[in-house]
Amino acid sequence: MQIIVEGWRFIYHSYCVANQFQLLEMLARPREQIELFHRDMPYIDAAWETKISLFDRQNETLLRSIKGPAVNQSADVTLRIYCPWDFSASSSAQTWVFAATEWGIVTSSVLQAMGVKSIAQTPVNSETKIITPSAWSKAGLIRSGVEADRIAVVPLGVDPEIYYPLSGDRRQSLRQSFGWSNYFIFLNIGGQTDRKGIRPLLKAFAAVVDKYPHARLVLKGSELLYPSRDEIAEACRVVLDDAERARVLARLIYTGSQLSFARIAEFYQAADAYVSPYLAEGFNLPVLEAAACGLPVICTEGGPTDDFTRSDFAQRIESKLTAVAIGGETLFILAPEWEHLSYLMQGAIEQAGWAAKARVAGPGFVAENFTWRHAVDRLLEVMVGDRNRERMDKSIFEPIIL
């Protein structure tokens, strides 16, 4: 199968992360199965420029070695994985677009970037098909007017050679190098925006450290993509009183630096629990990465993480599906209960047995179900299946020659 991928590479945007790992997995397949081409598309923001290599030298070289397609080259499939979404037909036999919805709908900002007022004004329900990473995201696309049979759910994955639990001695050595040896470390990775749940997280953490002052909250943001430091400061002002703010800021550890995937994996490997009280997500890959590294996970109930978390390594924060009016449109969020989050965070400190169980159950579950090999297997399955259906449909109308 010839595949032309049109997308982003070499930054830490979620679309780019998924694209790069999928490309590497495709490159690992026999050429008889996949012949791969890649066309780099412009970033939304010209300021997005990663100063470091996200991968090791071997994988970085592999990514840069992918041939570009000719201007009007056709293939079996063109897969687009960038924004704004482009649902127009390509020169290939099939056109697939990766599209994820976080807010329960396709938002007006996304529509504006595409130059339309409604998703129905695009060719989304023509011959183009959509790849989306979760049932939650699919529901948001359908709610906005995309026909259900145009959408295939293909979950994201992890690379188990990067994301895996460390042995006891290596983990303790890593914690010591970070200065975490004497603390219980809660970790959250991603843009520290309201959508990611920074406000309930800070509020819950303020209650936790009132009882357990040795707890620390490590936040890894991305100043390249989001003003995470400013978002954290604003959240502290809004949701915490003076006493809570003093407790939290004394125990808050933040970095917004650009780091490689291997370096970020060390955060998961050294922490004690991963916490993600998100309001709106399309998939939430850090939760899956944390589970692969053996971390017990605390995340919002009812969203995309329901697809890939289980009770033996994850606990879900009670939440309420809520319609909210923002900027003249109705969005759908999962409002996590910060009191329940605080209860679960305290339980993570108190229940060492759960952490020990998660260190085995999480990596095993992910390795069996949610690696990038599984993701690309599913991707090829839907593409090949669609191609076979097209052939079958065409054969119905072929004349019978006697």
215-220 and 184-189 beta bridge pairing: parallel
Is residue 324 assigned to a domain? yes
Specify whether 365 is located in the same domain as 376: no
- Asked, for residue 347, whether it belongs to a domain, the answer is yes
Does residue 230 lie within any of the structural domains? yes
CA distance 157 to 373: 8
Domain shared by 335 and 207, yes or no? yes
Report whether the peptide linkage leading into residue 123 is cis, meaning its omega lies within 30 degrees of zero. no
Residues 198-224 have pLDDT tens digits of: 999 999 999 999 999 999 999 999 877
Residue 133 shares a structural domain with residue 215:
no
Which structural domain, as residue segments, surrounds residue 32?
Answer: 2-154+372-396
Q: Do 260 and 287 share a domain, yes or no?
A: yes
CA–CA separation, 52 vs 54, rounded Å? 6
CA distance 195 to 191: 9
pLDDT of residue 388: 56
* Domain CATH number, residue 175: 3.40.50.2000
Claim to verify: residue 117 and residue 192 sit in the same structural domain: no
Q: Residue 159: name the closest of 292, 310, 8 by CA.
A: 292
Residues 6 and 137 in one domain: yes
User: What pTM value is reported for the model?
Assistant: 0.94
Q: Residue 401 domain-assigned?
A: no
Mean pLDDT by 10 residues, the chain (402 residues): 96 94 97 94 87 92 96 95 96 97 96 94 92 98 96 98 96 97 97 92 98 97 82 94 96 93 97 98 98 98 98 97 93 97 98 94 98 97 74 43 35
pLDDT score of 389? 52
Residue 277 resides in a domain:
yes
Shared-domain flag, residues 111 and 192 = no
Instruction: Provide the number of structural domains found in the chain.
Output: 2
Looking at the structure, tell me whether residues 199 and 299 fall in a common domain: yes
CATH number, domain with residue 38: 3.40.50
One domain, residues 360 and 379? no
Nearest to 389 by CA among 134, 142, 129: 129
15 and 8 Cβ atoms separated by less than 8 Å:
yes
Are 85 and 9 contacting, i.e. CB atoms less than 8 angstroms apart?
Answer: no
> Which pLDDT score is estimated for 396?
42
Q: Are residues 176 and 66 in the same domain?
A: no
Check residue 402 and give its pLDDT. Answer: 31
3-class SS of residue 235: helix
Whole-number pLDDT of residue 387: 59
**Contact criterion met (CB below 8 Å) for 13 and 363:** no
Instruction: Pinpoint the alpha helices (H) of 228-323.
Output: 228-239, 242-249, 261-270, 285-292
In this structure, is residue 246 part of a structural domain?
yes
Q: Are residues 27 and 130 in the same domain?
A: yes
Whether residue 104 is found in the same domain as residue 186: no
Is residue 161 in some structural domain? no
Is 107 part of any domain? yes
Amino acid at site 157: G
